[in-house]
Amino acid sequence: DVKVTQSSRYLVKRTGEKVFLECVQDMDHENMFWYRQDPGLGLRLIYFSYDVKMKEKGDIPEGYSVSREKKERFSLILESASTNQTSMYLCASTLEAGSTDTQYFGPGTRLTVL
């Protein structure tokens, strides 16, 4: 079974802090994604990566950056956290680049920015 893990289930940070959300998958998947989930808005894509050191902006990249130094790990970075970034963050991965494979999701990180 594919396993996607996220570093924290719950996180509380202060405005202006730099925040790192980590995601690791153990099935050698090419693609990794970061979404945020907000009530009434569903899942919105922040960034995705289809290879090591490669990244593409999603629909809402402002205020975020990402890093993929190793194939299994995809980090989401909030350079200076703001209260409007309080949300549930979901990481996902798929097997092949350039395909429409099933996405496998991690358990999510619920981030609160005070």
Partner 1 sequence: AQKVTQAQTEISVVEKEDVTLDCVYETRDTTYYLFWYKQPPSGELVFLIRRNSFDEQNEISGRYSWNFQKSTSSFNFTITASQVVDSAVYFCALSEAPPASGTYKYIFGTGTRLKVLA
Residues in contact with partner 1 by CB under 8 A are 9, 33, 35, 40-45, 48, 50, 56, 58-59, 88, 90, 92, 97-100, 102-108, 110
Which residues are registered as beta bridge partners of 7? none
Cα-based distances in Å from 70 to 17, 64, 98:
25, 19, 19
Smallest gap from residue 66 Cβ to partner 1 (A): 14
Smallest gap from residue 71 Cβ to partner 1 (A): 17
Smallest gap from residue 106 Cβ to partner 1 (A): 7
By beta-carbon proximity to partner 1, the closer residue of 56 and 79 is 56
DSSP for 48-89?
EEEETTEEEE-S--TTEEEEEEETTEEEEEESS--GGG-EEE
By beta-carbon proximity to partner 1, the closer residue of 69 and 98 is 98
By beta-carbon proximity to partner 1, the closer residue of 15 and 97 is 97
Number of other residues whose CB lies within 10 A of the CB of residue 38: 12
